Amino acid sequence: MKKILFVILIAGIAGFYGCCPKEKKLAQGEKQLIEKKELKLKSDIMTPEVLWSFGRISEVVVSPDHSTLLYGVTYYDIPQNKGNRELYTMSIDGKNKKKITETPSSEYSALWRPDGKKIGFLYPASGTMQIWEMNPDGRNRTQISNSDGDITGFKYSPDGKKILYTKEVSVDKKVKDIYSDLPLASGRIITDMMYRHWDSWVDTYTHIFIADYDGNKISNDIDILKDEPYESPLKPFGGLEQINWSPDSKTVAYTCRKKKGKEYAISTNSDIYLYDLASKKATNLTEGMMGYDVAPTYSPDGKKIAWQSMERDGYESDKNRLFIYDLGTKAKTDFTKNFDQNVDSYEWSKDSKSIYFISDWHATDEIYQLTIIDNKISKLTQGVHDYTSVTEAGDKLIATMVSMSNPAEIYSVDPKTGKETELSFENKDLMNQLSFGKVSSRWIKTTDNKQMLVWVIYPPHFDSTKSYPTLLYCEGGPQSTVSQFWSYRWNFQMMAANGYIIVAPNRRGLPGFGQAWNEEISGDYGGQNMKDYLTAIDVMCKEKYVNKNELGCVGASYGGFSVYWLAGHHNKRFKAFIAHDGMFNLESQYLETEEMWFVNWDLGGPYWDKNNKIAQRSYENSPHKFVQNWDTPILVVHSELDYRIPVTQGMQAFDAAIMRNVPAEFLYFPDENHWVLKPQNGILWQRTFFAWLDKWLKK
């Protein structure tokens, strides 16, 4: 949740450049944007427009004295097709809530200065994103940086004398550098792989700059990756959690994958580097550790460094372990060796004796505590929800939490009892006007006699004496859990509000059920996980309130692949399909995608390796090889800027359906990536989604 959020925020920055607040007053439309939360509904049933009216809380930061919370809230204006993010503060007990900004552009990456006397944040100035500061009450806004490019993130040094920040730099030569007499030439000369990534062409690299700071301005900045064709943090999901100061302000620990081209495309091997400000040299802390090593964080006493680590190179869904390095003894220890779960969103306790983190188990994300002295891991919370961040504040924990029935809000959590108390209530007025469907869980026996957790979401005002059209939801990833997430596109309560029951299985290949369950999907895309899908919907069809003659199947990414595959194997179970950004032709996907480590691991390797039985099994199960069995209406959704699963995959699927005389529709977005982030596009997505389902399932 946290990494995806970073991508969304960075994508949003480009759309909000404008004048500084002294140069422009809020227009009427922008005023409405800020006050959108006061919307009065005509019905208690959620609509796409209502979904886009929720306030989206992000980046909660506790003040140095633990008295005050700083956070941002984004509201979207549908007619203007944009959003705006403002900053708020409130006391640690949830009282004294105050909006401290009200500007035409969005404030991002807000932080408390170490002395607590100022708040730093990113805001546009003269066309570029710069660092600003203001008083904690929002007054006296002052620009403190003057970079020649957009600053994408920053952190104060603990002693307050320096600031590190990140921005994009150009290292590789372009056509105009080679041929100065062709300044208008638009061509690219490409000599190696990884020339584009997720949704953008690789023309620049994110570098770390360290600058002096005198309390008013920053100066004398240096690029610690100068002239290197590498990035830190890692794209596309990495944020400033991957770069951190030592408590004495003498060292910066950062994450970097010092590879390029083909070597970068086939490897996940990132490392932790310690950059010494005095010598201006970096030391590789994790040399020889072959998987992802990310998010280095010093203990507050400066004696240890923790980071998240994956063991195997090329496997992006490997177990996320928690390693700690003792700076005195030089020992590296895996503190989660006997913990069969992932570690996410972790933070040291202020006394350096423990680490709080979030981990998924059985499809809910809870807060855990690792005590260092005895290597004991304790689960602190329990419920039907997902915690998405946690930080210590005195004797309490401050956390953000979501569920399938609640957008993100801020909570205080008692670490002794696990009891949570809501603090923010940002969406209370809107939530009080809505009726949501019941969310229940049930364990279903699979074809290989294992137990699978399935979420079932019912329509609002559900009547068990009636029968309802039902949707099988296919999760993406492929290895991302069907937890208690709240989505602004794949929102289960939105589906339920349209009169559908949703069946969401935690099929084979999802985390939260042990590493063995998680790994059972790699190299077996058409195997047990597909049987799990069909088992889930078949068991639910035994319920009288499920209309087995009105079944739909929907999913995105790997879920889109699942839809395409099931379209050729469902034996007339379903009456409608929807596939968003799915893989259709695995042979072309292998050479169209950019992160080659993914297809090498998950598909087993290239399709031309005839001696590789795992790879050949993968390609034999490519959905395009079963199009001859397609007989059910299908809606295909795909976007031009999706370089992870290129738009041609969706075009192939749509064209195949048309050639087969199967009713089909293609929703194409020229300006979206693997997600749909713009308000009007998001609403168009919802309207098209339900118009298609209603057409074929509600006859």
Helix (H) or strand (E) holding 671: none
Residue 40 confidence (pLDDT): 84
Contacts of 487 (CB under 8 A, 6+ apart): none
Give the pair of three-digit tokens for residue 697: 């399932």
Q: Rounded to an integer, what distance in angstroms lies between the CA atom of residue 281 and that of residue 389?
A: 33
> What 8-state DSSP symbol labels residue 228?
-
Q: How far apart are CA 269 and CA 522, in angstroms?
A: 19
The residue whose two tokens read 């310690």 is 274
pLDDT lower than 50: segments of the chain: 1-37
Helix or strand or coil: residue 598?
helix
- From residue 640, alpha-carbon distances to 6, 87, 214, 584 in Å are 21, 33, 46, 16
Per-residue pLDDT reduced to its tens digit, 36-50:
446 788 899 999 999
Close Cβ partners of 305 (under 8 Å, ≥ 6 residues apart): 253, 272, 274, 285, 296, 297, 298, 299, 324, 325, 327
Beta carbons within 8 Å of 211's beta carbon, 6+ residues apart: 145, 162, 163, 164, 165, 218, 219, 220, 221, 222
- pLDDT at res. 38: 66
- The answer to whether 71 and 59 are in contact (CB under 8 A) is yes
* Residue 453 in tokens: 């957790």
How far apart CA 578 and CA 666 sit, in angstroms, is: 10
Token match 């770390």: residue?
208
Spell out the domains of the chain, with CATH numbers in brackets: 435-697 (3.40.50.1820)
Helices (H), 206-342: 261-265
Segment 535-559, tens digit of pLDDT? 999 999 999 999 999 999 999 999 9
Question: At a CB cut-off of 8 Å and minimum separation 6, what does 101 contact?
Answer: 86, 87, 107, 138
Task: Write the single-letter amino acid at 186.
Answer: S
- Tell me the whole-structure pTM to 2 decimals: 0.94
Please give the pLDDT value at position 26: 33
* CA–CA gap between residue 451 and residue 431 (Å, rounded): 34
pLDDT given for residue 529 in this prediction: 97
Percent share of the chain, pLDDT over 70: 95
C-beta of residue 529 within 8 angstroms of C-beta of residue 561: no
Strand pairing category for 304-309 and 293-298: antiparallel
Supply the residues annotated as catalytic: 557, 642, 674
Residues in the chain: 699
What confidence score (pLDDT) does residue 214 get? 97
Query: Which stretches of 236-348 are assigned E, i.e. beta strand?
Result: 243-245, 251-256, 271-276, 281-284, 293-298, 304-309, 321-326, 332-334, 344-348
| Alpha carbon distances (Å) from 53 to 36, 102, 103, 235 | 6, 18, 19, 29
- C-alpha span between 529 and 521 (Å, rounded): 7
